[in-house]
Structure 1
Amino acid sequence: MKRILLHYINSFSGLSKEVWWLALITLINRAGAMVIPFLSLYLTDNLHFSFEQVGWIMTSYGLGSFFGAWIGGKLSDRIGYYKVILGSLLLTGISFLIVQYFSDFWSICIGFFVLIAIADAARPAFFVALSAYSKPENKTRSLTFIRLAINLGFSAGPALGGIIITAIGYHGLFWVDGITCIIAGLVMIQTLHPKKARELDKEVVVENPVSAYQDSIYIIFLIALVLFGFIFVQYFSTIPLYYKEVHQLSEEKIGLLLALNGALIFFFEMPLIAYLEKTSVSKIGNVINGFILTGISFAFLLITPWTGILVIGMIMATLGEMVAFPFGNAFALDRAKKGKQGAYMGLYTMSFSLAHIFGHNSGMQLINYYGYNNSWIFMLVIALIGTFLLFLVKQKLNKEKITNQNIF
């Protein structure tokens, strides 16, 4: 037991203090992110929207995320990551406090578009900041550490969110979300001011940067990520509805099941990534493995009506997430060295925004017209297509490596 504990502690060694502060800011922010996991339930139960209307609201959410990621990448290259992150945190907090008072369909669509656009403008900037605050050899672990903070927040958030809904209703979630975003911004002012922070990334960026839009390998990789995101976002829209409608789970139990995801990541992701980094499996190889595991999680939902399978499916999806996301992030950051980091990471973030645009709405329409089981079969097909594209990326990377070796 002592050996396992030491291995866990050692997986955090070597990370800069700036990364630790960034993780704390992320934890504070994400611990308050209670609205998002319960958004589909809030829209159906509290505001009484139909599945079709919820699908379009989720599309507005995704469009806002897409626009926010694009503008956030642009602004990160022009005014710097610090101003983008700080402005996003403070304005997101204010937006959460305002949007809770919207109730009709169009105001909800516009409100969530604006809110998530402001919130996701910070995502490319976070990646650029993380790159600046990390030594090259610590990039993947630093990314994993930030994800740990995110998921620790998401672990506490849904569990606490279910309790808040039961005690005082859905509007309490908006107040907690708004206040925690503002607190995260205030902590950032005190700890990561540009005059106090120091850049640790000494990797050389090329003088004539390659346009991210002309990097064919990166574009194929992003298309695969869109497909991965497409199936992954179901865990925040259609899957909670499946838990409630098919398995008759309460909001509190749904919150605890979603919290299992964050708890598993908190305890196992850092040691797992530290171990996988020492193996011969490439970053893309690990992304492929993660994609396959997440796809299999949907297959488990088709096997049996036993409620316990939901826990097994969540564990499988979490394993896929733990493997795919850190190495996918690390690959994107490595590739970003070919050009402007903000633009590259903006596109990376936009890939998940596209998943939000099409994933939530398509999932809602699928369960509305074809039922849950047929929807899970569709997700399995998407997983197979995405896995094929990642194998294609792997082949192209091998050819690129051989070409570069011949040049030098």
Structure 2
Amino acid sequence: MIRWISRLSASIINPYRSLPSSVYILFLARIINRMGDFANFFLTLYLTRYLGFSEKQTGLVLSLVGISMMAGALMGGRLTDLAGRKKIMLTLQSLAALSVMICGFVPDRPLVAWLLLVFTFFNGAVRPINTALLTDLTSQEQRSAAFSLLYLGINIGVSAGPILAGFLFNHYRQWIFWGDGITTITTILLILFFIREPETSKIRVEQNEEHDNSSTLKALWNRPILAWYALITVFASFIYSQNSFTLPLQILKIFGDKGPRFFGIIMSFNAVVVIVLTPLLNHLCRRKRPLTRIALGYIFYGLGFGLLMFQIPHGFWFLISTLLWTTGEILDATNSGVFVSNHCPVNHRGRFNSLFLITRGGGRALAPLVSGFVLEYLGYSWMWGFCLVLGFFLAGSLKYLNKEDIRRKTS
């Protein structure tokens, strides 16, 4: 039994051992950066409780935050394919740190909402550059492990961050913003001193990644599997985004003043589940294609959020729900980047990744608008029921896309 456990552990860990050293630096940077990602987690509660926004107003602000992120991703993706990844990344992260630090000096004023739009813009611009840089540094065989490792880094940071943020939320609100800024600056220093700018001549070009000199939209049009997947990610993001809008509102409604603290526990539990299950799921699904894994993730999205149709006022019920939708999150997050990276031209890596960030941002922007309307006129059960049905529909759509992808490669 001990030998079997030892062999299983080795097989789970082995894919992470042969990655380039720069990937481990990015892993450490993700941990630090997300440990201080306080503002995003508590934005809904912050707007409603301290700034006095209604559900509709909060939904509008969150939609604007999503649009801001999409605009930033569009700019970042364009810049990263025209200039050096590292220089652009450091500049944009510095601007993000500055904008969130200013929020700490005006913590209870409506100006915070506008400053967070600026922060989200620069934060969104960094993301496609991050993904393009990771793709440059790895081969197709390494990418599943690399994306999985960085996703682990995010959640190792998140496992501690929300609990601390829950304390700061009630006692030292300005440190929600200052802490976010300080950890961003620490990340900047790590990348500045320990990661080299990839040389264009040494960037890996593999199957399905050859140069395409057409425009980004035409390059995407020539890859219909990717185009359809882009559309599907809008609705998948819509479901997932309920964890930052409908879920905290329901928790606040049920648990009252204890709501912010319990929501922090839920988010930390989400991160712990990711840390425990990500290597295991990566191992169990190692022979499955990325689209098959993502489709399974959408089923777990539907089941996890669908459970909340039954409004049971007990913390354990929310933990079960979180376990299920987090499993879906793992399968989606660790395989989406792999699938996109393995199908996009090397000279469009930044722009393609920004495009998929935009589609996900579209889902995030749409979620609070639609959810705010549904909650006001129909209630929570209808919202969660819609997520259940949509999750299963998207899973079926991806299975069809996967068959088409196999057919195109074998024909």
Task: Calculate the TM-score normalised by the size of structure 2.
Answer: 0.91
| Equivalent residue letter for 1:224 | I
Q: In structure 2, what is the Cα distance between the partners aligned to 1:362 and 1:31?
A: 30
Counterpart of 2:74 in structure 1 is: 70
Between the aligned residues of both structures, percent identity stands at 23
Q: In structure 2, what is the Cα distance between the partners aligned to 1:114 and 1:32?
A: 18
| Equivalent residue letter for 2:194 | T
Q: In structure 2, what is the Cα distance between the partners aligned to 1:196 and 1:217?
A: 30
Counterpart of 1:273 in structure 2 is: 282
| Equivalent residue letter for 2:224 | S
User: Which structure 2 residues correspond to residues 43-82 of structure 1 after superposition, within 5 A?
Assistant: 43-82=47-86
Extract unaligned runs of 5+ from structure 1.
404-408
2:195 to 192, 197, 204: 192
1:177 to 135, 156, 180: 180
2:292 to 281, 285, 293: 285
- The ranges of structure 1 where at least 4 consecutive aligned residues each deviate by more than 4 angstroms after the TM superposition are 102-105, 195-200
User: Which structure 2 residues correspond to residues 117-136 of structure 1 after superposition, within 5 A?
Assistant: 117-136=121-140
Q: In structure 1, what is the Cα distance between the partners aligned to 2:14 and 2:198?
A: 30
Aligned pair in 2 of structure 1 residues 324, 62: CA closer, same or farther (>3 Å)? Answer: same
Aligned pair in 2 of structure 1 residues 232, 83: CA closer, same or farther (>3 Å)? Answer: same
Q: In structure 1, what is the Cα distance between the partners aligned to 2:9 and 2:389?
A: 40
Deviation at 1:233, TM superposition (A): 0.9
Counterpart of 1:329 in structure 2 is: 337
Counterpart of 1:303 in structure 2 is: 310
Matched, 1:377 2:385: yes
CA contact (8 A) 1:75 1:84 kept: yes
CA contact (8 A) 2:100 2:180 kept: yes
| Equivalent residue letter for 1:266 | I
Counterpart of 2:161 in structure 1 is: 157
Q: In structure 1, what is the Cα distance between the partners aligned to 2:298 and 2:385?
A: 15
CA contact (8 A) 2:341 2:349 kept: yes
Deviation at 1:200, TM superposition (A): 6.6
Counterpart of 2:321 in structure 1 is: 313
User: Which structure 2 residues correspond to residues 68-147 of structure 1 after superposition, within 5 A?
Assistant: 68-100=72-104, 101=106, 107-147=111-151
Matched, 1:351 2:368: no
Counterpart of 1:39 in structure 2 is: 43
Q: In structure 2, what is the Cα distance between the partners aligned to 1:110 and 1:262?
A: 28
Counterpart of 1:203 in structure 2 is: 206
| Equivalent residue letter for 1:138 | Q
Counterpart of 1:406 in structure 2 is: none
Extract unaligned runs of 5+ from structure 2.
none
Q: Secondary structure at the match of 1:229?
A: helix
CA contact (8 A) 2:36 2:157 kept: yes
Aligned pair in 2 of structure 1 residues 384, 268: CA closer, same or farther (>3 Å)? Answer: closer
CA contact (8 A) 1:69 1:353 kept: no
Counterpart of 1:226 in structure 2 is: 234
Deviation at 1:229, TM superposition (A): 0.6
Q: Secondary structure at the match of 1:336?
A: coil
1:342 to 318, 341, 350: 350
Q: In structure 2, what is the Cα distance between the partners aligned to 1:259 and 1:195?
A: 35
CA contact (8 A) 2:32 2:187 kept: yes
How many equivalent residue pairs? 399
Deviation at 1:202, TM superposition (A): 5.0
CA contact (8 A) 1:288 1:391 kept: yes
Q: In structure 1, what is the Cα distance between the partners aligned to 2:200 and 2:345?
A: 21
Deviation at 1:285, TM superposition (A): 0.8
Q: In structure 2, what is the Cα distance between the partners aligned to 1:272 and 1:195?
A: 31
Deviation at 1:176, TM superposition (A): 0.3
1:395 to 399, 403, 408: 403
Q: In structure 1, what is the Cα distance between the partners aligned to 2:13 and 2:398?
A: 33
Deviation at 1:180, TM superposition (A): 0.9
CA contact (8 A) 1:92 1:115 kept: yes
Q: In structure 2, what is the Cα distance between the partners aligned to 1:361 and 1:386?
A: 21
Q: In structure 1, what is the Cα distance between the partners aligned to 2:9 and 2:283?
A: 14
Aligned pair in 2 of structure 1 residues 179, 206: CA closer, same or farther (>3 Å)? Answer: same
Task: Calculate the TM-score normalised by the size of structure 1.
Answer: 0.91
Q: In structure 1, what is the Cα distance between the partners aligned to 2:305 and 2:344?
A: 32
State which drifts further: 238-247 or 14-23: 238-247
Aligned pair in 2 of structure 1 residues 334, 142: CA closer, same or farther (>3 Å)? Answer: same
| Equivalent residue letter for 1:193 | R
Aligned pair in 2 of structure 1 residues 104, 173: CA closer, same or farther (>3 Å)? Answer: closer
CA contact (8 A) 2:15 2:142 kept: no
1:264 to 252, 270, 273: 273
Q: In structure 2, what is the Cα distance between the partners aligned to 1:164 and 1:196?
A: 43
Aligned pair in 2 of structure 1 residues 93, 339: CA closer, same or farther (>3 Å)? Answer: closer
CA contact (8 A) 1:11 1:274 kept: no
State which drifts further: 386-395 or 345-354: 386-395
CA contact (8 A) 2:290 2:335 kept: yes
Aligned pair in 2 of structure 1 residues 379, 89: CA closer, same or farther (>3 Å)? Answer: same
Deviation at 1:109, TM superposition (A): 4.8
Q: In structure 2, what is the Cα distance between the partners aligned to 1:162 and 1:43?
A: 15
